[in-house]
Amino acid sequence: MHRVAFKMQLFQGFEAEYKKRHDELWPELHALLKATGISEYSIFLDETTNSLFGVLKAEDPKALDDLPSHAVMQKWWTYMSDLVVSNPNKSTQTVPLKELFYMP
């Protein structure tokens, strides 16, 4: 199992809405993420910078590269694009984070 971490930028004032939308995660998106081999997925908020930090476990990190081809993923990005910094195709701008320490 591989750990994957990344950061995103949340627009100021949308913290509650971001949490609400994730609390109501679409079942079809949840199923896609699980089918892709994703588990233990968390997103943390740094309230001083409004940076979001995502951490997940993936059976095969290369399988994540296929997520953009799924309609439900594209629909989710569009749904979330008013809350986070996004790319022109509406995908969330993410910055991969390099692991420097891990204590199992």
Looking from the CA of 10 toward its CB, the CA atoms found within 13 Å total 20
Euclidean distance between CA atoms 38 and 12, whole angstroms: 28
Chain-centroid distance, C-alpha 99: 17
Check if 30 is active-site: no
Query: How many C-beta atoms lie closer than 10 Å to residue 5's C-beta?
Result: 16
Query: Of residues 2, 22, 30, 70, which has the active-site annotation?
Result: 22
Active site residues: 22
